[in-house]
Amino acid sequence: MAPPATRPPPARASRPAASRKPPIVLLGPQRFEPTLADAVAAIGLSLGKARFGTITAGWQEREGEDADLHAHLAERTTNLKIYERAEDVWRRDRELHGEHKRRQELLRHKQDFYRIRLEHELEAAHVIQARKAPDEILEAERTASIEAIRQLDAYHIEQCARIHEEYDARVVPLRRAAVLEHRKELTRLIDSMDAICIAGGHVATLLNRLELFGLGELLTQKPLLAWSAGAMVISEVVVLFHDSPPQGPGAAEVLDRGLGLARGVLPFPSPEMRLRLEDPARIALLTRRFAPRTLVTLTGGAHITWESGVLRRPFRVQRLHADGRVEALGG
């Protein structure tokens, strides 16, 4: 879609850019085929000397169960404990917790109504793709269907942005004492690290915890290595996807804006379980819907580096094209 209007709230604002931004590595799932150490070496960091701040908030209550990650990075990690810090904020600031829950409830309602409309628009697009007609008519109708979906995505993001703006104006979370205390400590910890690693898990939990402490700003100054849901939340827009879910129709849906740290690229982790890569029509629709972003899949062991807007050093990555092709990149 034509990139929908996004708001850069204070929590997500970037500091003035240096001459060269630190690299961002997007990786596939790390549980069964960890390649994080290889990716660290690829961006010029020494595994035995570098210090890594880790974010495992997407694991929720299991946030601290990071022994494997700690060992994989030569025991040079410090868990930033974002989920635990958020729980401390909720305990200490009940008003903020209540406002946060109210915001999340509004977002869930918006997501439900968006999903209803989206399923109808996608069904129409799939039917039109399969119809027979003169080429010039068929292409015009396909384009109109995709544009309708893009407009719906943009409308949904605008609705989410309005809810966020009203919440920020009402409670100003980054000025609350409990949040400020943790953010000050997080700033100190991040400044002392050589790179930050963002694990996967529950994507919505991870996103809203990162936002709570304004980490979109703090993370712009360090190399990032992010996988699965971690890779999703640092993009411009977070897209939930599953072409063949156990229940209900499959429909890729926009959840919200991401942190916008890796701009112009849209990652799809675990495509072997969630995308019908063998279906050119579905791939074409997906790619055209989110154009002009570059859509890449991240299987286990895959990684690719984003540096100042350019994707480099792909390994086991696939790029999706608007004509339905799936192109293997690297490895």
Task: Identify the band that residue 316 occupies on the pLDDT scale cut at 50, 70 and 90.
Answer: very high
- In this model, does residue 305 exceed pLDDT 50? yes
Task: Identify the band that residue 18 occupies on the pLDDT scale cut at 50, 70 and 90.
Answer: very low
- In this model, does residue 14 exceed pLDDT 60? no
Task: Identify the band that residue 314 occupies on the pLDDT scale cut at 50, 70 and 90.
Answer: very high
- In this model, does residue 248 exceed pLDDT 60? no
149's tokens? 């979906």
pLDDT of residue 250: 66
pLDDT of residue 16: 37
Is residue 26 within 8 Å of 226, Cβ to Cβ? yes
Is residue 299 within 8 Å of 272, Cβ to Cβ? yes
Q: Which of 35-44, 124-133, 305-314 has the lowest mean pLDDT?
A: 124-133
Distance of CA 144 to the CA centre of its chain: 27
Specify the residue for token string 């154009």.
291
Buried-state track 125-162, b at ≥16 Cβ within 10 A, e below 16 = beebbeeeeeeeeeeebbeebbebbbebbbbbbebbbe
User: What pLDDT digit, counting tens, does each position of 66-85 carry?
Assistant: 999 999 999 999 999 999 99
Task: Identify the band that residue 48 occupies on the pLDDT scale cut at 50, 70 and 90.
Answer: confident
- In this model, does residue 10 exceed pLDDT 70? no
The pLDDT of 291-298, averaged and rounded, is 96
Using alpha carbons only, what angle is made at residue 280 by residues 274 and 286, rounded to the nearest 5 degrees? 60
pLDDT of residue 21: 86
- In this model, does residue 64 exceed pLDDT 70? yes
Q: Which of 88-97, 121-130, 232-241, 251-260 has the lowest mean pLDDT?
A: 121-130
User: Distance of CA 272 to CAs 17, 97, 269, Å?
Assistant: 37, 38, 9
Which run of H or E residues covers position 296?
Answer: strand 294-307
The pLDDT of 12-32, averaged and rounded, is 72
Residue 202: exposure state from Cβ atoms within 10 A (0-12, 13-18, ≥19) = middle
The pLDDT of 93-104, averaged and rounded, is 97
Structural domain spans, the chain = 20-58+78-90+176-329
Amino acid at 32: F
Using alpha carbons only, what angle is made at residue 157 by residues 247 and 16, rounded to the nearest 5 degrees? 130
Is residue 271 within 8 Å of 256, Cβ to Cβ? no
CA atoms within 13 A on the CB side of 178: 17
pLDDT of residue 19: 52
Alpha helices (runs of H) in the chain, residue ranges in sequence order: 36-42, 67-72, 82-92, 94-130, 135-171, 177-191, 203-212, 215-218, 229-233, 271-274, 280-289
Q: Does the CA dihedral 148-153-157-160 come out positive or negative?
A: positive
pLDDT of residue 51: 97
Buried-state track 20-29, b at ≥16 Cβ within 10 A, e below 16 = ebbbbbbbbb
- Please determine, looking at this structure, whether the domain spanning 20-58+78-90+176-329 carries the CATH number 3.40.1190.20: no
Q: What's the longest Cα–Cα distance across the chain?
A: 65
Task: Identify the band that residue 161 occupies on the pLDDT scale cut at 50, 70 and 90.
Answer: very high
CA atoms within 13 A on the CB side of 251: 23
User: What pLDDT digit, counting tens, does each position of 249-294 carry?
Assistant: 567 999 999 999 999 999 999 999 889 999 999 999 999 999 999 9
Mean pLDDT of the residues in the chain: 91
